[in-house]
Chains A and B, each alone.
Chain A
Amino acid sequence: MSTVDVTGVTAEAGPAPVPDAAPGLREDTPASRRPGAARAWLRLLGSEAGLTFRRPRNLAVLAVLGIIPVLIGVVMRLFAEPIAAEAADGPGNGGAIFAQITGNGLFLTFAALSVLVQLMLPVAVAVVAGDAVAGEAGGGTLRYLLTAPAGRTRLLAAKYGNAVLFCLAAVSVIALSALVTGLALFPIGPITLLSGTTISFAEGLLRIGLVVLYVTAGMAALAAFALALSTLTEVAIGAIAATVVTVIVIQVLGVIPQLAWLQPYLLTQWWNEFDGVLRDPVAAGEMGQGLLVFAAYVVIFGSIAWARFTGKDITS
């Protein structure tokens, strides 16, 4: 027995054939549990990230997310007075946050996130997470990844890890763009929280960091849902559209008073809870509960994605 050696690398890369002694016990994959398996997985994750962040479509999505805070900032700067007056008129709908921007540039970050978290950000996440498996299946590349062999569980984990990275990147792009715009166009200084307490600029930055992490966690929960849908189809756009439609339907369900009992279980309701960071004391209880809800979504839809993907016939 010999091997094709196109490489000049003579060392046997794979493990030696295992003796037939206990074939029945050879369930899943010793390869993924070897030392160095973690490093190999990180290489796969790096490859996923490289693909995601080199893909023109995804870059365009990130660019759009980055431009919107700039637009909000410029509009606020040019037409600040009428908008602020109008915003103050609408009680309880959060419009007042826009009025705050003109007073403190840091508020642009919170205002931009509170606008984008409703739909734009979920759409961006759906584009990447919904595409994750369905896109590879549709393009036929999934069969080559699996015969490489990437390993189904391992590949799915890398796909999800990459989706979470994208969530973080998308939220960070919004936050950074808003921060830079806010600093350039508006005065900076100590920040007044929603509770009327004032904190220093540095602590304001810290709280922006907390918001970024919380919103990322919320988006990661959506990514798990989109990934589960992605394993059900070979048409990426189908998984993406289904995710976006679901988000919209849930948003609608969330405002119907007869369904108030449902609200604590709806993902979208918890995304908005990031404003707890702007209270004094920080509404850790609500946000902690939000994180638990996100974790529940990740566990349920992650396991559905796993059960589906590991048992699926790859016929594309």
Chain B
Amino acid sequence: MSEQTQQRRARRGRAVRWGVPIAAVAVVAGAVGAGPVIAAVQGDPVLPERTAEQLLADALQATKSGPTPMSGTVLQTASLGVPGLPEVSSGMGGTSPAALLTGSHELKVWYGGDERLRLAMPGRMSETDLIVNGDQAWLWESDSSTATRIKDTGEAAGHASGKGPGHESGHESGHPEALPTAATPQQIAKEVLQRADADTAVGVSSSEKVAGRDAYQLTLAPKDASSLVKEVKLALDGETFVPLRVQVYAKSAAEPAFEVGFTSVSFTPPAPENFTFTPPPGAKVKEQSLDELAKGLGADPQARQEKGGKIAEGMRTVGKGWTAVAVLPFSAQDLKGLAPQGQTGEEAGSPEAQAVTDALLKSATPVSGPWGSGKVVRTKLVSALLTDDGRLLFGAVTPEKLTEVAGR
């Protein structure tokens, strides 16, 4: 064999050798990116085309008949751009309600029909579970090894879902137990569907893929230019019309400001063991009504509700739809009392709450105009204006719109 041949073989050998790790990287990258790639390749709709109207009707029909038994993992990601919220401290394990405003959170859902529901929020070496089985409801916190039996479940369930957006919109997460309910795609989707009316541009596509399932996607975009919301995307399962994902896009960012959706989902009814709960030996067992529980978890709803109720009395809304602005009498003092608090929830005005409030006020920009003067806080989705004459205006609109409303 000639030297040249050997030469060439040696060089080829080297190329082949390094080809192996390169191929390995390619295969792994391919496997990681396979989902989107396959979705893109299969871009042609697998599902029969539906107009937005048909889809909405089907979806509403499906919501009316109640959700099918299912289980899955829900991932919630928020980057609302609320000033002053500590972004670092809340990892995947954060279970404090305020933590839901930032970062991403995983929630496991089992729904067995017949008022049987289990939600599990896994943390590192910990877990918080809510198990609802008919008229029984338990809250289990592995961190403190506490099992809490929740009384008045029937009422509580109604309470949780009936406590509408009006109650919530000021500060996203009031009651901890309202969180899981508000965080399932079903709840949020229902809310979005109800808002789809004349001031919304509605689009629909039938080639989405969510949690490995073919899905329809509704796109709802506000027509009013003063809205901070660019669009809301709602993915519905192609078979069951169960909402699989909700994404809220702000005009200021390409990534969704808020997203909640299934990362995996199965429509086989989950095992019944998921819905039974017996307090383990050695655990602290408590029995509490919903309000007491919420108090125990730190939100002190009594005081807040009183205060909130007082404030809400004076509230009125200007405009409607996407650009509705709420106006209520308010002052910086009130804000401190209402600030969302940590889970431990000592007395109101705890250092944590104080810090958030201070940061919020500090980040506020002073504005003035013919209507007077005040301070504006702007996040990706919501603006708030606190006027010096004691009014609070807020809505999913630009600060300009707020000052305009303030002048009326």
Contacts and interface: CB of A to CB of B under 8 A. Distances in A.
A92 B95 contact: yes
A136 interface: no
Contacts of A196: 127, 129, 138, 140, 142, 147, 277, 279-280, 283
A307 B95 contact: no
A195 B142 contact: yes
Contacts of A114: 124-125
B14 to A, nearest CB: 6
Contacts of B96: 91-92
Interface residues of B, number: 55
B103 interface: yes
Contact of A103 (B27, B124, B282): B282
Interface of A is mostly: helix
Given A94-B93, A94-B123, A255 B142 contact: no
A307 B129 contact: no
Contact of B102 (A197, A257, A302): A257
Interface residues of A, number: 48
Interface string A236-276: 00000000000000000001110010000100000010011
A198 B280 contact: yes
A154 to B, nearest CB: 16
B323 interface: no
Contacts of A257: 87-88, 90-91, 102-103
A100 B129 contact: no
B283 A192 contact: yes
Nearest to A199: B280
Contacts of B73: 285
Interface string B119-142: 010111111010000000010101
Interface of B is mostly: mixed
Contacts of A194: 122, 125-127, 142
Contacts of A272: 124-125
B38 interface: no
Contact of B343 (A91, A190, A304): A91
- Between A189, A255, A272, A303, the greatest number of chain B beta carbons within 10 A of the residue's beta carbon is seen for A303
Interface string A153-196: 00000000000000000000000000000000000011010111
A91 B143 contact: yes
Interface stretch (B17-25, B175-183, B216-224, B355-363): B17-25
A97 B20 CA distance: 44
Contacts of A190: 281
Contact of B124 (A94, A195, A279, A307): A94
B264 interface: yes
Contacts of A279: 120, 122, 127
B104 interface: yes
Given A196-B277, A300-B24, A94 B126 contact: yes
Interface string B67-91: 0000001000000000000011011
Contact of A96 (B88, B126, B283): B126
Given A190-B281, A257-B102, A283-B122, A195 B17 contact: no
B271 interface: yes
A275 B145 contact: no
B144 A96 contact: yes
A311 interface: yes
B139 to A, nearest CB: 10
Contacts of B94: 91-92
22 contacts: A91-B343, A92-B124, A94-B125, A94-B126, A99-B145, A190-B281, A194-B126, A196-B147, A196-B279, A198-B281, A255-B88, A257-B90, A257-B91, A275-B122, A279-B122, A280-B273, A281-B274, A285-B264, A303-B20, A306-B21, A307-B18, A307-B20
Given A92-B126, A97-B125, 16 more contacts: A91-B143, A91-B344, A92-B93, A92-B123, A92-B143, A94-B93, A192-B282, A194-B122, A196-B129, A196-B283, A197-B280, A198-B278, A265-B32, A302-B24, A303-B21, A304-B21
